[in-house]
Structure 1
Amino acid sequence: MTASLEAHRLDGQRLIVVGAGSRTGSLIARAASAVGAELVLAGPDPRKLEWTAGELAGRAEVVPVDLAEESTIAALAERVGRFDHLVSTAAMPANGPLAELELADVQRAFAAKVIGPLLLAKHLAGQAAEHGSFTFFSGVAAWRPAPARTVMATTNGALAFLVQALAVEIAPLRVNAVSPGIVDSGSWDGLGADKEAFLRGVAARNPARRVGTPADLAKAVFYAIDNPYVTGTVLHVDGGGRLA
């Protein structure tokens, strides 16, 4: 993956990755470190952040953050100081039949995808470099809602509109979203022997006739970071899955 990303050099740039203890956050952090970025790894579980830090090619700082607690976001801003870019892969799905949803789970889902990104911009926009950017992770469920995925669809959709509003409010800082489809990042390993059949079925339905890879996500994030004329945009990295 690293060789294909060398064009996106981030030497000397400071990148905050919120959700760096997750599979997707960790892969973005590793890819950014490999191309020269200095990393700040943020998330709710310090142990997972330390594991990610141990896999990086370069320097990293670990800062615990809970997007449901504004005080921790304010503390992140105070500790980090100046930075170049922020990427948040944070997600806290609240899936299940509508009649069985718990309010606390729904609130956590909105904290990760909507309220948290809003507060990250509130506390950190003033510290970003002039060329800086914020990139958040939405998801294909917003464009392809399904039973038992109502909260996931709603939070991802709300985030897509939030990036447009933030792009206007905190301009000239740029704000974008990456919306993954089905990506073979390890998240589907729990399917066991059924995983390969599931991924083949996804590929057969996608216009791109394949599933996503971690490199696909990293390229989209780096495009959002690199291109100074892209803001208020959702980059769909789903092989056309939202259309199928």
Structure 2
Amino acid sequence: MTASTELSGQRLVVIGAGSSTGRRLAQAASAAGADLVLAGPDTRKLEQTGQQLTGQPEIIRFDITDEASIADLAAGVGRFDHLVSTAAVPANGPLADLDPADVQRAFAAKVTGPLFLAKHLAGQAGEDGSFTFFSGVAAWRPASGGTVMATTNGALAFLVQALAVEIAPVRVNAVSPGIVDSGAWDRLGDGKQVFLDGVAQRNPARRVGTTDDLVRAVLFAIGNPYVTGTVLHVDGGARLA
């Protein structure tokens, strides 16, 4: 992926920077000249990400499901230009088996967490500042056993519209991935390639996504000052198939 220089001198907060997508975003943003704040629950993974960057990032241990932790993040970050959260806490399974605590954490990661991030950090965003969150194709293509995932991703899509109005002129957008070969499907073992090939055959784009596809969308959302309240679908057209 070719890096842009448009982030030179800007301060970027990446929540979930220990994940494959968050790490790739941090790498691209660092190569583009951004100063990075890496936040997430596992400092070991954040440090691993930090070792792959061109600069020296700030690392903050952080729990998006806890408002007190969000307030602490705001105090530690200070002024910034852009915040991106890839955070998700899945709660998948049949309705009869869902645990209330798991459901609450899923909503906290995708809905109430972003809401409180805006509450505590919107006033610290610089001129042309933005928030970018991650929704997902499950909101538009729900599947059995994925009711919580579909609902939280859908709620986030509407939340970004409301926040774009509430905290304007700070911009708020979402990226909605489809099936991405980010490493999450490695658990399928020998069945992984069969699964991904099937997804590609059904998608209008005739391929599955990569983390670079997602990073390009995030950088577009960050860099275009006339885009707000928008969900960028990076799913190969999966919601149409």
TM-score normalised by the chain length of structure 2: 0.98
- Residue 32 of structure 2 is aligned to residue 11 of structure 1: no
The equivalent of 1:101 in structure 2 is 98
Equivalent residue number for residue 217 of structure 1: 214
Which residue of 102, 120, 125 corresponds with 1:123?
120
In 1, Cα distance between equivalents of 2:32 and 2:195: 33
CA distance in 1, matches of 2:89, 2:60: 19
- The corresponding residue for 2:48 is 51
Specify the code of the residue in structure 1 equivalent to 2:157.
A
Q: Does 1:173 align with 2:170?
A: yes
Q: How does 1:12-31 map to 2 (within 5 A)?
A: 12-31=9-28
Q: Which amino acid aligns with 1:78?
A: A
d(CA) in 2 for partners of 1:41, 1:67? 13
After superposition, give the CA deviation of every residue in 1:88-141 in whole Å (9 maximum; x if it has no partner). 000000000000000000011001000100000000000000110000000000
Q: How does 1:226-237 map to 2 (within 5 A)?
A: 226-237=223-234
Shift of 1:59: 2.3
Corresponding residue number in structure 1 for 2:78: 81
Q: Which amino acid aligns with 2:208?
A: V
Confirm whether residue 243 of structure 1 aligns to residue 240 of structure 2.
yes
Q: Is the 8 A contact 2:21 2:215 kept in 1?
A: no
**Structure 1 consecutive aligned stretches of length 4 or more whose deviation exceeds 2 Å:** none
Q: How many residues align?
A: 241
The 3-state SS of whatever aligns with 1:204 is helix
State the one-letter code of the partner of 1:194: G
Q: Does 1:199 align with 2:200?
A: no
Aligned to 1:141: 138
Residue ranges of structure 1 left out of the alignment (5+ in a row): none
The answer for the alignment partner of 2:65 in structure 1 is 68
SS at match of 1:201: helix
Find the counterpart in structure 1 of residue 107 from structure 2: 110
CA displacement at 1:79 relative to structure 2:
1.0
Distance between the aligned counterparts of 2:54 and 2:24, measured in 1?
12
Give the aligned partner of residue 164 of structure 1.
161
Taking the aligned partners of 2:169 and 2:160, their CA distance within structure 1 comes to 13
Preserved CA contact (<8 Å) 2:6 2:223: no
Q: Which AA in structure 2 matches 1:201?
A: G
The equivalent of 1:183 in structure 2 is: 180
Q: State the 1:24 CA deviation.
A: 1.6
**Structural RMSD (CA):** 0.9
What CA distance in whole angstroms lies between the structure 2 residues aligned with 1:54 and 1:71?
A: 28
C-alpha separation in 2, matches of 1:216 and 1:9: 18
Give the alignment's TM-score, normalised by structure 1: 0.97
SS in structure 1 of the partner of residue 217 of structure 2 = helix
